[in-house]
Amino acid sequence: MRSSRTRTPRARAGLAWAATLPLVAGTLALGAPAADAAGHDGGRHVLQGTKPLWATRQADRGATPDATAVNARVYLAGRDAKGLADYAKAVSDPQSASYGKYLSPAQVRARYGATHDQIAKVTDWLKKSGLKVTGTTNRYVTVQGDTAAAERAFATDLHNYLKGGHTYHAPSTTASAPASLADAVLTVTGLDNAPKLAKHHSGELPPPEGVFRNSGPFSSYYGSRTDKSLPSAYGSKAPYAIKGYTGKQLRAAYGAKNWTGKGVTVAITDAYASPTIAQDAAKYAARNGDQRYRKGQLSQVLPDGYTHIDDCGAAGWYGEETLDVEAVHAVAPDSDIVYVGGASCMDDDLIDSIGKVVDGHLADIVSNSWGDIEANETPEVAAAYDQLFQQGAVQGIGFYFSSGDNGDEVANTGTKQVDTPANSAWVTAVGGTSLAVGKHDAYKWETGWGTQKALLSKDGSSWAGFPGAFNGGAGGGVSKTVAQPYYQRGVVPHELSDIALKGAMRTVPDISAVADPNTGFLVGQTQTLPDGKLGYDEYRIGGTSLAAPVIAGVQALAQQARHGIAIGFANPAIYQRYGTSAYHDVTDHPLGAGRDLAVVRVDFVNGADSSKGTTTSLRSLGKDSSLHATVGYDDVTGVGTPGAGYVSSYRH
């Protein structure tokens, strides 16, 4: 993906295969055949999903030695888990009498947070089992100890299992807690150690990655430059790809008008932190016509140190932060931006970042350009995320997650699946489009983002293998684990949402914005230049990593239009506007049935300069694997993209 610069850093690669236990409205359906309705089994409270699916009899390599170190997190259920979910729904539903009656962080802790008594009892249980408590928050208790102590605490045996050529330990049966703690313990993570390598590094991050540049020729707006000597495609000459859209063009496309996001704060979560983000963002704004940053408008909340630097490819996340910050500012130039960096790209650290946003109510809108495939999600991790999303919802905080960059994931994994946490019923999943902005910043059309790539033949007379192989597209489809949330009923077609023997399930995405790197956004970043020195450079970028901060920026405009009243968890309001002029209803053939579209793209072979030559390719649009952008709701663009009337539809 380096050549197209669509990289969406992936968290949790290689974690356990997800259990197929259905999720109910995005929360765990606790219980097992041997347990009663309360999840009790012989005096124990079953912690469903804690035995990963890769821990099979065939992969079993025997008992984990008693002295093996185990590091785990016991997540606390709080006072009233069901009440939290119920109020999160009510406060987010425009049809509810409780709509918009948000709570403060202190009220959330008082009404739904863990009590001192719960924490004390959980701590006492863990210590009596022989585990050492290494940390306590209002959300979880961290412990470390040996295998024998972990087995005593969670009433399961740990075995070693072969997975992907490596050996990891994991519970051989589903873990549990004492039945007396059923109301206190939500779940436990860390009993399996794949792929957490527990190697700590110093707080010093690596230098930026090598420079990436786009070769010309470019269009300055869609269709502005075409080479008539190149072969035709779909009955006409395709224009060159744009150099990269800027804020002025995106604001015009998505109905910003005079709204600027004033008085609204947008948070961004990613892993690590670009050491040059402030100067890069300022330089980019000055060069590309964006408003200057006010003093304090861009701030960062960072961890004390960083871990898994090599495993996560820390330097690759600098570009992600840069894209997110510059895209939000381009769309909502008056919004404050707070970047909350994770200590790594692992679940626990990303959960901590989201927890900081929720506990401190750092923002009402949170952009998250990261994720993983659903098959790598486990129910206990989903429960920990959903608890945070629900706590955010009752405070008026909305979370926006990229839907993924590999279409239906078949080309990537061999199996149709959606991405996570975008699959959660408590977040807004943001899909992607190919965007045409014409002369004078006029919105022309969008297709679903899905690309097929064909190289120019050696003699220049044809596009070899036209239309070419799938080359990336917006993630979408139906979840195998999350039941259909109420707000999708009557909007999402049954042929998209229904799974045999399960019925209607969560379908992704909810809404969309530009994502195609061939019609993408111009970004500016300090990179490592070919001579080894650091320098600022600009390039075009895409992916649903772009779509998420663009939608976050549009939501900031909409919140300003509401006189600053928080939109909160936005999906009920987003679906309430379905079928209205608030949206561009995106299809793969905006110019009519059978009229396909494409752009021509020229790339440096080495990604930096012409010393190794260039390649010319045709990039067909609207070809997203088995997914299709159609009239009405679809599994590429959801309800569509924000139209001219979207922001003003939130006015009171």
Buried b (16+ CB within 10 A) or exposed e, 56-79: eeeeeeeebeeeeebbbbbbbbbb
Query: Confidence band (pLDDT; 50, 70, 90) for 20?
Result: very low
Sign, Cα dihedral of 305, 388, 254, 100: negative
DSSP state letter for 610 = G
Share of the chain above pLDDT 70, in %: 92
pLDDT of residue 87 exceeding 70, the answer is yes
The residue among 511, 508, 369, 516 whose CA lies nearest residue 446 is: 516
CA–CA dist 211, 207 (Å, integer): 12
* Among 24-33, 268-277, 468-477, the least confident range: 24-33
pLDDT at 14: 26
Query: Confidence band (pLDDT; 50, 70, 90) for 42?
Result: low
pLDDT at 49: 83
* pLDDT tens digit sequence for 200-216: 233 468 889 999 999 99
CA–CA dist 132, 155 (Å, integer): 17
Largest CA distance in the chain: 78
pLDDT at 581: 94
* pLDDT tens digit sequence for 580-615: 999 999 999 999 998 999 999 999 999 999 999 999
Q: What is the mean pLDDT of residues 51-68?
A: 92
Query: Confidence band (pLDDT; 50, 70, 90) for 195?
Result: low
- Give the rounded distance of the alpha carbon of 286 from its chain centre: 29
87 has which bridge partners? none
- Give the rounded distance of the alpha carbon of 536 from its chain centre: 27
pLDDT at 204: 63
Residues in the chain: 652
Q: The whole model's pTM is what?
A: 0.92
pLDDT at 24: 28
With helix as H, strand as E and coil as C, how does 290-332 read?
CCCCCCCCEEEECCCCCECHHHHCCCHHHHHHHHHHHHHHHHC
pLDDT at 266: 98
Q: What is the mean pLDDT of residues 545-551?
A: 98
Contact 191, 154 (CB under 8 A): yes
CA–CA dist 540, 153 (Å, integer): 52
Q: Which DSSP helix (H) or strand (E) runs through 46?
A: strand 44-46
* Among 50-64, 92-106, 316-330, 421-435, the least confident range: 50-64
* pLDDT tens digit sequence for 343-400: 999 999 999 999 999 999 999 999 999 999 998 888 888 999 999 999 999 999 999 9
Selected residue with higher pLDDT from 34 and 613: 613
pLDDT at 53: 81
What six digits make up the tokens of 381? 């991790």
Contact 364, 567 (CB under 8 A): yes
User: What domains are there in the chain, each with its CATH number?
Assistant: 2-9+207-650 (3.40.50.200), 23-78+114-189 (no CATH)
CA–CA dist 628, 542 (Å, integer): 19
pLDDT at 193: 87
User: What's the half-sphere exposure (Cβ side, CA atoms, 13 Å) at 433?
Assistant: 33
pLDDT of residue 19 exceeding 60, the answer is no
